[in-house]
Amino acid sequence: MRAIIRSPQTLGSALRRARRAAGLTQKELGARTNLRQATISNLEKGEGANLKTLFAILTFLKLEFELRERSQSAPALDDIF
């Protein structure tokens, strides 16, 4: 799975797609990563989560970040937040 992540919401959507592709509910993913279902839900909505939580989910779903230069057509930071 590849996705360009430019906002918390697009990260949440990508995580939701990966979770569903793995055939897991939010509750199941939470149980397997020692997180509450509400935490998974909030992250999938693009709402607050710490990096440790995010990386626990990424690791379980066999995903990783790759950083690269932003394209010129990417929205400005003010447009994201």
The pair of three-digit structure tokens given for residue 79, joined into one six-digit string? 């447009």
The pair of three-digit structure tokens given for residue 46, joined into one six-digit string? 């693009």
- Sorted by where each starts, the structural domains of the chain and their CATH numbers stand as 8-64 (1.10.260.40)
User: Is the pTM above the cut of 0.75?
Assistant: yes
pLDDT tens by residue, 19-34: 999 999 999 999 999 9
pLDDT computed for residue 76 by the predictor: 62
